[in-house]
Amino acid sequence: MTTLKTKNISRAKRPRTRVSAKSPALKYVLRLFVAGATIRSRQAILRVRALCEAELKDSCELEVIDIYQQPTLARENQIVATPTLIIEFPPPLRRFIGNLANIAGLFAELDVLNKAKIVL
């Protein structure tokens, strides 16, 4: 019975270490869905990369997905229009559809300015 208790104790400790490990290294996970190499797609990629470099610095993981090359990912993520930016982490999951021209509005929606100051 002592071995069962030690196993339960070790399981109880794991979530605490995970939570503390995530808090200093909060990383945004972004997925940008585009349709081919169009001007709109290129502009959206440049804008999101600018967002990542300027405000999120090293705390951003960006994945650019071309729906023509990976249609199964588009179906799985229920993409109906491009470009679409999905913020998967931190929760809740958020979607932004369009050319992402309003970067200031995107900052406000993501609450990047407040979170970036806290994290960095």
User: Is the pLDDT at 36 greater than 90, yes or no?
Assistant: yes
The answer to whether position 3 is within a domain reads: no
Best CA proximity match to 85, nearest among 49, 39, 58? 49
In a domain, 17, yes or no: no
Two tokens, residue 50: 């600018």
pLDDT grade for 58, boundaries at 50, 70 and 90: confident
Any domain includes 89:
yes
pLDDT of residue 14: 38
pLDDT beyond 80 at 35: yes
**Taking the C-alpha atoms of 45, 51, 57 and 61 in order, what is their torsion angle to the nearest 10 degrees?**
-50
Position 9 in a domain: no
Closest C-alpha to 107, from 27, 52, 45: 52
Per the structure, how many domains does the chain have? Answer: 1
Is 65's pLDDT higher than 80?
yes
Inside any domain, residue 10? no
> Alpha carbon 21 to chain centroid distance?
18
Domain hosting residue 111, numbered range: 27-119
Q: Which residue in 95, 94, 83 sits closest to 34, CA to CA?
A: 83
Decide if 93 is inside a domain: yes
Residue 21 has pLDDT above 70, yes or no: no
Is 69 or 97 the better-scoring residue by pLDDT?
69
pLDDT digits (tens, 9 = 90+) for 70-109: 999 999 999 999 999 999 988 888 898 887 777 666 666 6
**CATH number of the domain enclosing 34:** 3.40.30.10
Is pLDDT above 60 for 1? no
Query: Does residue 52 belong to any structural domain of this protein?
Result: yes
